[in-house]
Amino acid sequence: MGWTCYSDISIWSPIIGSVFFGYGLIIVFTNTYLYIILVYQMYSASALSFMTFGRYMVSGAMTVGAIPMYRNLGPHYALIILACIAPVMAPVPFLLYRYGHVIRRMSKGVQNKD
């Protein structure tokens, strides 16, 4: 969306991109919450609260870092940096799917270790 914020580009381009981004974000959050509930069963409330707290801490830290980044680089290059980070993070769900059973075996609070 970084290169669609020019005045000569229609407003509908970033709006449509934001719709797809928002839909994907809702899917990821819903599936992550369901996974945490299934794995931690009895301790799921504590796990969800810790996950939410961590998410808010990261978003607060990103606010502190993102404002100077947008001011110094401008929206185009700041969003390009974030877009370059996204493909690096893309394999994380697949790695968790592949090696999740190993990680779950190391946890003491997990009810379902398979």
Residues of the chain with pLDDT under 50: none
From CA 42, how far away is CA 28, in angstroms rounded?
Answer: 22
Give this prediction's pTM. Answer: 0.72
From CA 74, how far away is CA 96, in angstroms rounded?
Answer: 34
pLDDT digits 0-9 by tens, 29-56: 999 999 899 888 888 999 999 999 999 9
| Contact criterion met (CB below 8 Å) for 33 and 52 | no
Residue 110 has a pLDDT of 78
From CA 46, how far away is CA 56, in angstroms rounded?
Answer: 15
From CA 71, how far away is CA 55, in angstroms rounded?
Answer: 24
Give, in degrees to the nearest 5, the angle at Cα 100 between 56 and 107: 75
Residue 54 has a pLDDT of 95
